Amino acid sequence: MSKGGFFMLQTENKVKQINCYHYIEGKYVASKDGRTFQNINPATEDVLGDVAIGGREEVDLAVNAARKALKGEWGKMPLRKRSYILHKIGDLILERIEELARLETLDTGKPLWLSKSVDIERAAYNFHFFADYMISVGAETFQQDDIAIHYAVRRPVGVVGLINPWNLPLLLMTWKLAPALAAGNTVVMKPSEVTPMTATVLAQICTDAGVPDGVVNLVHGFGDTGAAITSHPKVDAIAFTGETVTGSAIMKSAAPTLKKVSFELGGKNPNIIFADADLDDCIDTTLRSSFINQGEVCLCGSRIYVERSLYDDFLEKFVARTKEMTVGNPFDENTKVGALVSKEHYKKVLSYIDIAKSEGGTFLTGGKRPDGIDKGYFIEPTIIIGLNRNSRCVREEIFGPVVTVLPFDTEEEVLEQVNDTHYGLSASVWTSNLKRAHRVAGQIEAGMVWINTWFLRDLRTPFGGMKHSGIGREGGIHSFDFYTELTNITVKL
């Protein structure tokens, strides 16, 4: 049993049972009514453990603890000390990288090497980055002739609700938690019901690093749990990552109390490949942008557009390389594609495969469970051609290892198709023509455009989407702008 009530019974490499509790005011607690649900390993369909279900009562306790802590030591702590604590959280995440990566893989079904090298490493880096960044963030000052000096001061926004999805559980939670804490806020976190484990450990890590009790609280659950946070009158802001429809529901429930919101929502991101692209580089990256994390990344480029003169060559190489990808046991180091996160999501992705068949799509590879794997929610990496631009599989977010490929003839035509969507999260453009690269990138209606690459991130840069893909930006100063309020002070000279 590890510290504080996160129970983990282990024998060698096998975890027998892991129960997740809420974390309120520095302690693990069960729900008052004792309700729990089962957490399922998506790669084996075995039960991993029980997870407490929080209701209004638990959310209320967590919010009140966060409110109290806002007035306590945390708010008054010297910046340098708070920065030190954030660094320490990052260090402790790295110290526990093996354990956290294993928990992330058990919860999500993603390959262990990926959990380790991306999810957990980047979670630690989120803290290290904001620990350094926070001490350099200022605000504006203006001298108005010889009349006045105006200066703005930043202060925490208050109690922030952090609500996250299941695809990159610790990475996305820390992407919000680190700047929220850096700016002096207190929080109530809610991880997705299907991936509760790493956030449960994170809460304890924060305490171990020196975060005072009540600053970081966590409530598990589903259904009404998230809504109890987003509608709570004592919550000042909501940072949410998840589906577009959920964002819309959250906005509605946050409206009566006028909460500040930051939304990172869904996407259906285009990957535009011109005939003069470096094909080998493009194929290497397109394999990642299509199938990494089982295609369960909001930034995945699932709509691939290829200039007609390259179309056949591209498909030949792309299909051959996709067929080489090993699908299966996430703990095997050769596995490239693990299990989808849950039975519900697996069924949703399969339903899109059926839709593609009914819409006349041709499957060049995939479109089914891998042969010989009887348990777990596995789907082969799937490439579909022959669909038209209005097909549901071309327009809707599938969020699985499924891509569609369409040919195009002109720059104008592809831009028109690419922007014909209510999503606007990200895009990639592949070309060796520099002028065209900038010209096209500047016309795509998306919050992030990569030229000749994908998912290359610098945490100082704005991250987020336009249209139905989000509200606001995260990263660097953008995170600080969300997690702080500005007060302008004017001194008459």
Q: Which residues are catalytic?
A: 264, 298
Report the alpha-carbon angle 231-235-237, nearest 5. 95
- The interface mask with ligand NDP, positions 412-451, x = CB under 6 A, is -------------x--------------------------
The binding track of 325-364 with respect to ligand NDP, each residue x by CB under 6 A or -, is: ----------------------------------------
CB-based closest residue to ligand NDP: 226
C-alpha distances out from residue 408 to 40, 42, 309, 429, Å: 43, 38, 9, 13
* From candidates 59, 61, 92, 227, binder to ligand NDP by CB under 6 A: 227
- Of 245 and 486, the one with the shorter C-beta distance to ligand NDP is 245
The piece of 47-55, 239-247, 276-284, 365-373 that touches ligand NDP (CB under 6 A) is 239-247
Nearest approach in angstroms of CB 226 to ligand NDP is 2
Backbone φ and ψ of 2, nearest 5°: -85, 170
Binding mask 241-280 for ligand NDP (x = CB under 6 A): xxx--x--xx-------------xxxx-------------
**Cα Dmax for the chain:** 80
* Residue from the set 399, 430, 450, 482 that interacts with ligand NDP by CB under 6 A: 399
> Virtual CA dihedral for 416, 422, 428, 434, nearest 10 degrees?
40
Spatial CB neighbours of 63, under 8 Å, sequence gap ≥ 6: 159, 188, 217, 229, 232, 234, 235
φ, ψ dihedrals at 327, nearest 5°? -110, 135
Residues numbered 271-330 forming contacts with ligand NDP, rule: CB under 6 A? 298
Structure tokens at 255: 């409206």
Backbone angles phi, psi at 66, to 5 degrees: -65, -40
Q: Is 230 in the site for ligand NDP (CB under 6 A)?
A: yes
Phi, psi for residue 428 in degrees, rounded to 5:
-125, 145
Measured from the CB atom, is 342 or 382 closer to ligand NDP? 342
Q: 165, 361, 381, 400: which one contacts ligand NDP (CB under 6 A)?
A: 165
Q: Packing angle between helix 197-209 and helix 169-182, nearest 10 degrees?
A: 30
Q: How far apart are alpha carbons 368 and 370 in whole angstroms?
A: 6
Binding site for ligand NDP (CB under 6 A): 163-167, 190, 192-193, 222-223, 226-227, 230, 241-243, 246, 249-250, 264-267, 298, 397, 399, 425, 465, 470
